[in-house]
Structure 1
Amino acid sequence: EEEHTSCEIPRDAIDVCGVQDPDDVSLDNVKEVLDSIKVLFEEDKTIKAYRLWKKLEGLVGQYEEAPQEQELSDKLMNAKELITESMFMLNQVTMEAESVFALLEELDSEEGWELAKDEAGIRTWFKQPEGSPTYHIKIQGTIKSPIFDVLALVNEVDLYQKWIPTCDLSKAVLNISKFKRMIQLCMTPPSPVNWVVSRRELMLYGYGVDMMEDNKMIAMAKSPSPGE
């Protein structure tokens, strides 16, 4: 059975390593770059971590395509070994970052969306993807409450059943980190729908993404994939 080990990296490790800027990435500091990616990911700065990883991946790819002297070849081999050791974490960074990019693209897109309702400052759209029996729903509005009140509401998973319609069970089944968790929800449709639609269970992987460099904060909740 494969054993996974982990170590704690100090919060200020990025400052110590000095690898916050993708322009600082080189074959001489691959270990420091990977440590910085890990710190950024653990602090929910997933997009920064992703951009740093893509810079490193691109750099290694460039050197692979060009002839190298022995010293450079040794550095490249060492870099690839270090990357392979961190691949599980790097795959997680990639999956979560690309999910965020896909969400933001969908929110900004108007293609295929039909406006269903525009009332009291809340706009609701829907669309049915081609070949799919399901509908996608997009809602846009302003929550006139302090951001920390909203975040507290989202964070208290056990209380979802008190304010989410039809939800009669809600609990965190796995706390992965401060802003990452797996949650279980159960929904019981109201009468008379419950005559034909039974109680439904939903498992969600939820995580937060700090994008304050772009003046954004993202809260994601999605069905977990096998890789996650």
Structure 2
Amino acid sequence: MAEAGRDTIPNVSFRNILELIAEVQLCREQARLLVAGRLLAAVDRYLASGQHAGRQEVKEAHALLGGELKPLFDEVRQRAAECQSSLDDWQSPDWLVAQTFMGITTFYKVDPDGSLWIKMHGTMDDVTIMDQLAVVREVDLFNKWVPFCDTSKLLKRLGIVELLVYFSMSIPGVGRDCVLHAYGCDSVLETGCVLIQGRSVEEVPEGVEVPQVKGWRHARMDVRAFRAKVEVLSPTSARTSIVANVDPKAPVPKSVVNFVVRKMAGMFLYCLKQTAKCIRTDEGNCHRRRIVEDKGFYKEWLFPRFERFYRRQGWTVDEELGGGEPASKLSDEPTGGGAWCPNGKTMSLSHGTCTPFRRKAGSQLKNSLKRLKTTRRSKPTVTAEAPPPQVEKLSIDARLLEKWQAKRDSRRNQTAGARLLGSILFAVCAAWVRWALTSEERAAARVRDISWFVCVATVLLATGLCLVL
């Protein structure tokens, strides 16, 4: 039977209904959930119409859909609906632009229940879709590139593209962890993209051990929704969009949480981009090793799906890593991935191998000031004519002294900014303490929360003073 595409759902009859049900199962196993959902919806409409109800094939179809395999078909319906809803939501006009940072645009919208939805959107050049999916799939390597992630662990593989993941985030004064269930949807032939759906779960299958972290500053956050779409644009570029709705369970006003999330969310997609770029340029890259070692998934299962799409578009194929084009050789010029090192390699964001040395900008000024002070303290030698080099040197040092004095005056002016920042932080602390003391829900934990918030506010105040001064 011809393969069902996006707009080629065949007409259902008693002659092909059993064959279509078998194809639904096959599409589910191959993670083609959108096609499976459309085929199953066509079968459901035919059975609901009551046509040819007396035929043996129709009776067998009813038995299959309502028997032991009913949970499987219900799962197909649910996941296909979720994937289609995600595709529709990406085009929603309700998204508002929050900011654009390093080529990553962040959008947001407020849910009716008051929670915040975040969408990150960016085009990744010089990065194949295979590299991006490798970074996302190898969840136990999240702690090497995800900001603030200190622990990541694969709890169980529930399917070819279905995972149960544990990760924890840690920032000064607070720690959060999560158990995330995620699955993928192969929609390359239909829509030219790959979809990922996920959410946090409270219960896990038997035999799965979840790390337990105890402490008054630690809690389990709620990931209400996580959606990702990776759209193929060319052999070496893809457009990536991520949508998330996360409740960090933080004892601070929701408006503060929403503001921080809007400003910091784009860093996740930027770090993903930089990490994926290193796969092609660094032969010792940990994600590159996973691609080479796990040939059963990357080369035998995932690569053929993109190869067919590449050839349909007339693109060349890189047989080594399963990308669109052969990776270019390293040149003597800096590339876009990571920081440039003197040895010609690209440095990873989190675990670089070398750091370029730069002399501090103020060292020349300090040396000139020392020379000027030494010149003023020493007794001048009476000569008939002063040497021209010393006169020029003295004039240069004088100009540097004036520059230093101007910089000192500007620092004095910035002290007012530091005082203003301290006043704002103190007002925020006072408002939060008042809210914590008057809230009946937090009466039992108010002392703990106040202590935690005072510590965090102190750190923020010290950081702000360092930045200003």
Give yes or no for TM over 0.5: yes
Q: Tell me the distance in 2 between the aligned counterparts of 1:158 and 1:137.
A: 24
Query: What's the CA shift for 1:178?
Result: 1.6
Q: Tell me the distance in 2 between the aligned counterparts of 1:224 and 1:62.
A: 38
With over 3 angstroms needed to count, the CA separation of the structure-2 counterparts of 1:154 and 1:19, relative to structure 1, is closer
Q: Please list the CA deviations of residues 91-131 of structure 1 after superposition, one character each: whole Å capped at 9, or x if unmatched.
A: 111121111112112211121x2211024332111122123
One of 197, 200, 214 as aligned partner of 1:220 = 197
Query: What's the CA shift for 1:223?
Result: 2.7
Asked if 2 retains the 8 angstrom alpha-carbon contact of 1:19 and 1:36, the reply is no
What is aligned with 1:88? 71
One of 6, 10, 13 as aligned partner of 1:26 = 13
Asked whether 1:169 is paired with 2:145, we answer no
Q: Tell me the distance in 2 between the aligned counterparts of 1:225 and 1:77.
A: 39
Q: Tell me the distance in 1 between the aligned counterparts of 2:14 and 2:160.
A: 32
With over 3 angstroms needed to count, the CA separation of the structure-2 counterparts of 1:19 and 1:80, relative to structure 1, is farther
AA partner of residue 116 (structure 2): Y
AA partner of residue 147 (structure 1): I
Q: Tell me the distance in 2 between the aligned counterparts of 1:23 and 1:225.
A: 40
Q: Tell me the distance in 2 between the aligned counterparts of 1:183 and 1:138.
A: 22
Alignment of 1:103-114 (within 5 A): 103-111=86-94, 113-114=95-96
Query: What's the CA shift for 1:225?
Result: 8.8
What is aligned with 1:36? 23
Q: Please list the CA deviations of residues 164-190 of structure 1 after superposition, one character each: whole Å capped at 9, or x if unmatched.
A: 1121221121201221111111112x2
One of 98, 114, 118 as aligned partner of 2:81 = 98
AA partner of residue 171 (structure 1): K
What is aligned with 1:206? 182
Unaligned runs of 5+ in 1: 1-14
Superposed CA RMSD: 2.3
With over 3 angstroms needed to count, the CA separation of the structure-2 counterparts of 1:75 and 1:150, relative to structure 1, is closer
Q: Tell me the distance in 2 between the aligned counterparts of 1:51 and 1:203.
A: 31
Q: Tell me the distance in 2 between the aligned counterparts of 1:120 and 1:162.
A: 20
Query: What's the CA shift for 1:75?
Result: 4.5
One of 137, 140, 153 as aligned partner of 2:118 = 137
Q: Tell me the distance in 2 between the aligned counterparts of 1:152 and 1:208.
A: 13
Secondary structure of the 1:23 match is coil
Q: Tell me the distance in 2 between the aligned counterparts of 1:178 and 1:210.
A: 11
Query: What's the CA shift for 1:19?
Result: 7.3
What is aligned with 1:3? none
Unaligned runs of 5+ in 2: 206-469
One of 118, 121, 126 as aligned partner of 2:103 = 121
Query: What's the CA shift for 1:224?
Result: 4.5
Asked if 2 retains the 8 angstrom alpha-carbon contact of 1:27 and 1:79, the reply is no
Asked if 1 retains the 8 angstrom alpha-carbon contact of 2:34 and 2:84, the reply is no
With over 3 angstroms needed to count, the CA separation of the structure-2 counterparts of 1:161 and 1:108, relative to structure 1, is same
Q: Tell me the distance in 1 between the aligned counterparts of 2:201 and 2:48.
A: 30
**% identical aligned pairs:** 25
What is aligned with 1:6? none
Q: Tell me the distance in 1 between the aligned counterparts of 2:131 and 2:74.
A: 33
What is aligned with 2:136? 154
